[in-house]
Chain A
Amino acid sequence: MFRYILRRLMIAVPSLLGISLVLFTVLAMAPGDPFSELVSNPNIPPEVALALRQKFGLDDPLMVRYWNWLTAMLQGDWGYSFISRINVETLIMQRIPVTLLVIGSSQLLALCIAIPVGVYAATRPYSIFDQIASTLAFIGFSLPTFFTGILLILFFSIHLDWLPFVYRADIPETGWRFFWEHFKQMIMPVVVLGMFQAGAWTRYVRSAVLDVIRLDYVTTARSKGLSEKVVITKHVLRNALIPVVTLVALQMPAIFGGAIVTEQIFRVPGIGSLIISSMLANDTPVVMAVTFVFSTLVIACNLLADILYGWLDPRISYN
């Protein structure tokens, strides 16, 4: 087991290097630079843009720039944003709490819907409940979030005037009003993201439970005279959830990565909105740092999922 983890970690190093090289090259070759506003403003003399290009090292050859970035990164220096001229890690850290809160809650909401609904539907396949749940699940993951988001805004913010649709991470109110305001503004983004995820997961849980419920040991448990509740929670669910746990573990990086479209619609200041505004502004250090952290997380979560899988299902061996 230990040797297995060690081996995986050692494979991770060259993959991360490869990923960073590809990312860096693609970003460097992408057209445009961070000075668009400088060029179209007649009051800014051209030499300012030239001096800044040099200062930011944009005129150096690609491999020199990559080497500089890599050595700095290895020493823990993530560089600074070309646009706001502050350190990249500060920018990222400002966005993480909101991302975890909003995306995390939406994933929790999705789990809280997907597991009970999926299990109940699987125990009564093709019943009315199953039909309705399946239909809703299909609608849930077929509708894109930008559509449901705008629909909710039109209904709850504009028509009914109940909920705000601009998310404010810092709310000046104190006491219970602080929590109430936070709760109100979180409802729509969390529901939009949660419903989308819940749709897919419900289908997944349902089929996983259906696979297990037909096995002989379940029949044995039933014939022992165990109550249906015990059979489902103790015998079926445990085994059925093994693949679901893997799926959720693989979804973890997405919680960090945020949700670009939904964050844009509700103005949630998360990682997703940071990366999209940095990309549009050609702010390479920020895009590079966020994507690199993201790929590290993908690799780490894959490893985590594999280990969890073996731990939950002893039949899988790592040799």
Chain B
Amino acid sequence: MNEIDINSLIDKVRGQEMTRQQFIRRMVGVGLSVPMAAQMLLTSGLAQAQTSSSYKPTKRGGGGALKLLWWQGATLLQPHFASGTKDQEGSRIFYEPLAAWDHDGNMVPILAAEVPNSSNGGVSRDGKTITWKLKRNVLWHDGRPFTADDVVFTAAYAADPATSAYTKGSYSDVKVSKVDSHTVRVEFQKASPFWADPLVSAAGMIIPKHIFESFKGATSRDAPANLRPVGTGPYKFTDFKPGDMLRGVINNDYHEPNRPYFDSIEMKGGGDAVSAARAVLQTGEYDYAWNLQVEDELLLRLEQGGRGRTSITPGGNIEFIQLNMADPWTEIEGERAHPSSKHPILSDKAVREAISLVVDRAGVQKFIYGRTGIATSNFLNNPKRFVSPNTKFEFNPDKAAQVLEAAGWRRGSDGIREKGGRKLKLVFQTSINGPRQKTQQIIKQAAQKAGIDLELKSVPASVYFSSDPANPDTYTKFFADIQMFTTTMPQPDPEVFMNQYQSSQFATKANKWLGRNSTRYNNPEYDKVYLAAQSEMDPVKRAAMFIRMNDMPVNDIAIIPLVYRPRTAGIVNNLVAPLSGWDNDLWLLKDWYKTT
């Protein structure tokens, strides 16, 4: 089925000759996923069916207390200073964005009256202007009405460099202006197929102008509301102790009927992931535990307690291996791993191919990650419409040995191969973390069979993932031959996620190694496709571009995808909690309830 056929089908739906369901069924029939088909209709300007909510309670309140356990407690409650998910989640109880992402990567309006699209005039034809219509009956927790001024203020607050907001990146290149009291216009400098970064999801939590007005810019740290949030969310703030306890009570003026269900909420922080899993799955002391980074074997055993279940939500996070394309051992212009250098061993594609063949991905999934890490040959694994069918993985140390033999790498007396006087010895680094050290071991053993000697190195996580320019062991510097870590995909659109193989993103001394391309992958073709995808408004063509971008570093074996990591959470049996892999765990807190 080609593009013209699809477009004629879309016209049929528009002319009501065909229903939405029929269209989606047809598309699924030709191998597309449901979300992709839905997205095609959405961008073509056909109203999307509301994601059906399974919310049952018929009155507000009466649900008692909801007890959440976060083994890393929230440390601040200003959403625009929230660096990690734990802080975003704390803020998300009280603040709301205009729209959020559901588990399929579809947009769900929260403070917006509807999702903008081209048929309701929300998305302009050139893809440069987005118009948001806001809900009218929304009140801040202090009783003041929520208006377009608050949205415009939030954007200006985050964009101000003196504020040093962590969400600055979402607002620095857009112009947000007020059309009327409940309409806001977002203007981009160029056509933006992914226009849903500002004002949406975690980066889009709207803060009240009347509270934060005098604390914009350099005085942002002094705002008392940084610790006492006033939002629009389903629960109102009562008490907060950073890193320990956060409490709230029901918001009786919440803007949706019959919501929320619980009378109060508490989020307890601290401890470790294993005992958090215990407190939900085994004793039921708490209702929900976030981010259970626990070995699957243990989770299965705790689930036998019968009080709760593990929820596994697919997102886009991936554990993968990077091969250094630059030379980390020689300095060029005073800089190790200079992008212009070539790795003395890994520049030989046969070596890279051999390394890929000794990585036992199925084994890593089976023996280490279980349900919490699915073996994959792709870097981009989700949403389904971006998944490449053109890659595959294989575990075969014998074949690896043959490949090396054919390329002239001969075994020395110690079993390690060498070529031109250079031994096949490589340094493999990662952060200190149980499953990662086990994975390193599995790969080292298989590599040894093929005649590759891997020296394993593990760096404490607080060092490895830091931005300290003076430390040689950070993952962005990558002063080793091979490294392994998880990279996160925070949005259902891969545009930001895929920027890490662009040559403009090289991690170098000049940008204090904060560039995202740490593997120093350099492919002019990739740069060209990326640039084109940034303003391609046709969703089908755009998806195809991202699949091509996925294939380039994977098939060049600059990276070896390992397992993609769904999110795991513990939920007590009678709690209904809609989760999403594309947003915070609490993205739909208003719809959480307990069955009796």
Q: Which residues of A contact B (CB under 8 A)?
A: 31-33, 35-53, 55, 80-81, 83-86, 91, 94-95, 153, 157-158, 161, 164-166, 168-170, 172, 264-265, 267, 269, 273-274, 277, 280-282
Contact A46 B512 (CB under 8 A): yes
Q: Given A158-B282, A165-B279, verify A35-B466 contact (CB < 8 Å).
A: yes
User: Nearest-CB distance from B85 to chain A (Å)?
Assistant: 8
Given contacts A32-B460, A44-B168, 11 further A-B contacts (CB under 8 A): A38-B83, A40-B487, A44-B169, A85-B78, A86-B227, A166-B286, A169-B241, A169-B244, A269-B241, A269-B270, A281-B75
Contact B164 A31 (CB under 8 A): no
> Looking across the interface, which residue of chain A has its beta carbon closest to that of B485?
A40
Selected contact of A39 from candidates B75, B245, B465, B499, CB within 8 Å: B465
Selected contact of A274 from candidates B243, B268, B272, CB within 8 Å: B243
> Looking across the interface, which residue of chain A has its beta carbon closest to that of B495?
A42
> Looking across the interface, which residue of chain A has its beta carbon closest to that of B270?
A267
Given the complex of chains A and B, what is the CA–CA distance between A168 and B65 in angstroms?
14
Which of B239, B283, B286, B496: most chain A CB closer than 10 A? B283
For residue B286, which residues in chain A have a CB less than 8 angstroms away from its CB?
166
B interface residues, tally (CB under 8 Å)? 73
> Looking across the interface, which residue of chain A has its beta carbon closest to that of B507?
A46
Contact B462 A85 (CB under 8 A): no
Contact B466 A32 (CB under 8 A): yes
> Looking across the interface, which residue of chain A has its beta carbon closest to that of B243?
A277
For residue A161, which residues in chain B have a CB less than 8 angstroms away from its CB?
283
- Among B487-534, those with CB < 8 Å from A are 487-491, 496-497, 499-500, 511-512, 514-516
Contact A170 B239 (CB under 8 A): yes
Which of A48, A55, A83, A153: most chain B CB closer than 10 A? A48
Contact A264 B270 (CB under 8 A): yes
> Looking across the interface, which residue of chain B has its beta carbon closest to that of A52?
B164
Given the complex of chains A and B, what is the CA–CA distance between A224 and B53 in angstroms?
89
User: Nearest-CB distance from B433 to chain A (Å)?
Assistant: 13
Q: List 6 A-B contacts (CB under 8 A).
A: A39-B467, A43-B197, A43-B203, A81-B75, A273-B270, A281-B75
Q: Given A32-B471, A42-B500, A269-B245, verify A85-B226 contact (CB < 8 Å).
A: yes
Selected contact of B221 from candidates A32, A85, A269, CB within 8 Å: A85
Question: In this assembly, does B271 line the interface, its C-beta being within 8 Å of a C-beta of chain A?
Answer: yes
Contact B69 A166 (CB under 8 A): yes
Contact B467 A53 (CB under 8 A): yes
Top 6 A-B pairs ranked by shortest CB distance?
Answer: A46-B514, A269-B244, A37-B84, A36-B465, A45-B169, A84-B75
Contact A164 B285 (CB under 8 A): yes
Contact B168 A264 (CB under 8 A): no
User: Nearest-CB distance from A42 to chain B (Å)?
Assistant: 5
Q: Given A170-B239, A281-B462, verify A41-B203 contact (CB < 8 Å).
A: no
User: Nearest-CB distance from A116 to chain B (Å)?
Assistant: 35
Selected contact of B169 from candidates A33, A36, A43, A158, CB within 8 Å: A43
Given the complex of chains A and B, what is the CA–CA distance between A166 and B221 in angstroms?
32
Given the complex of chains A and B, what is the CA–CA distance between A55 and B490 in angstroms?
27
For residue A80, which residues in chain B have a CB less than 8 angstroms away from its CB?
221
Q: Given A48-B169, A51-B161, A265-B275, verify A39-B282 contact (CB < 8 Å).
A: no
For residue B467, which residues in chain A have a CB less than 8 angstroms away from its CB?
33, 35-36, 38-39, 46, 49, 53
User: Nearest-CB distance from A45 to chain B (Å)?
Assistant: 4
Given the complex of chains A and B, what is the CA–CA distance between A83 and B243 in angstroms?
10
Question: In this assembly, does B37 line the interface, its C-beta being within 8 Å of a C-beta of chain A?
Answer: no
* Binary flags per residue of B67-84, CB closer than 8 Å to A gives 1, else 0: 001001101101001011
Contact B496 A43 (CB under 8 A): yes
Contact B285 A165 (CB under 8 A): yes
User: Nearest-CB distance from B506 to chain A (Å)?
Assistant: 12
Contact B496 A85 (CB under 8 A): no
Contact A43 B465 (CB under 8 A): no
Contact A31 B243 (CB under 8 A): no
> Looking across the interface, which residue of chain B has its beta carbon closest to that of A44?
B166
Selected contact of B164 from candidates A41, A55, A153, A269, CB within 8 Å: A55
- Among B65-109, those with CB < 8 Å from A are 65, 69, 72-73, 75-76, 78, 81, 83-84
Question: In this assembly, does B461 line the interface, its C-beta being within 8 Å of a C-beta of chain A?
Answer: yes
Given the complex of chains A and B, what is the CA–CA distance between A265 and B467 in angstroms?
30
For residue B270, which residues in chain A have a CB less than 8 angstroms away from its CB?
264, 267, 269, 273, 277
Q: Given A169-B245, A274-B243, verify A33-B466 contact (CB < 8 Å).
A: yes
User: Nearest-CB distance from B511 to chain A (Å)?
Assistant: 6
Question: In this assembly, does B187 line the interface, its C-beta being within 8 Å of a C-beta of chain A?
Answer: no
- Among B332-385, those with CB < 8 Å from A are none
Given the complex of chains A and B, what is the CA–CA distance between A46 and B512 in angstroms?
9
Given the complex of chains A and B, what is the CA–CA distance between A282 and B461 in angstroms?
11
- Among B432-484, those with CB < 8 Å from A are 460-463, 465-468, 471, 473-476
Question: In this assembly, does B565 line the interface, its C-beta being within 8 Å of a C-beta of chain A?
Answer: no
Selected contact of A170 from candidates B83, B247, B272, B488, CB within 8 Å: B247
> Looking across the interface, which residue of chain A has its beta carbon closest to that of B221?
A85
Given the complex of chains A and B, what is the CA–CA distance between A46 and B73 in angstroms?
25
Given the complex of chains A and B, what is the CA–CA distance between A38 and B81 in angstroms?
10
Contact B514 A83 (CB under 8 A): no
For residue A267, which residues in chain B have a CB less than 8 angstroms away from its CB?
268, 270-271, 275
> Looking across the interface, which residue of chain B has its beta carbon closest to that of A42?
B496
Contact B285 A36 (CB under 8 A): no
For residue A282, which residues in chain B have a CB less than 8 angstroms away from its CB?
462, 466
Question: In this assembly, does B20 line the interface, its C-beta being within 8 Å of a C-beta of chain A?
Answer: no
User: Nearest-CB distance from A182 to chain B (Å)?
Assistant: 14
Selected contact of A43 from candidates B226, B463, B474, B490, CB within 8 Å: B490
For residue B76, which residues in chain A have a CB less than 8 angstroms away from its CB?
83-86
For residue B279, which residues in chain A have a CB less than 8 angstroms away from its CB?
165-166
For residue A158, which residues in chain B have a CB less than 8 angstroms away from its CB?
278, 282-283, 305
- Among B545-571, those with CB < 8 Å from A are none
Question: In this assembly, does B62 line the interface, its C-beta being within 8 Å of a C-beta of chain A?
Answer: no
For residue B491, which residues in chain A have a CB less than 8 angstroms away from its CB?
43
Contact A84 B243 (CB under 8 A): yes
For residue B203, which residues in chain A have a CB less than 8 angstroms away from its CB?
43
User: Nearest-CB distance from B559 to chain A (Å)?
Assistant: 15
Question: In this assembly, does B170 line the interface, its C-beta being within 8 Å of a C-beta of chain A?
Answer: yes
Contact A31 B490 (CB under 8 A): no
Question: In this assembly, does B19 line the interface, its C-beta being within 8 Å of a C-beta of chain A?
Answer: no
Which of B73, B485, B515: most chain A CB closer than 10 A? B73
For residue B515, which residues in chain A have a CB less than 8 angstroms away from its CB?
46
User: Nearest-CB distance from B264 to chain A (Å)?
Assistant: 7
Selected contact of B497 from candidates A42, A47, A165, A170, CB within 8 Å: A42
User: Nearest-CB distance from A212 to chain B (Å)?
Assistant: 45
Given the complex of chains A and B, what is the CA–CA distance between A158 and B271 in angstroms?
17
Question: In this assembly, does B390 line the interface, its C-beta being within 8 Å of a C-beta of chain A?
Answer: no
Which of A32, A49, A264, A280: most chain B CB closer than 10 A? A32
User: Nearest-CB distance from A97 to chain B (Å)?
Assistant: 11
Selected contact of B462 from candidates A36, A94, A264, CB within 8 Å: A36
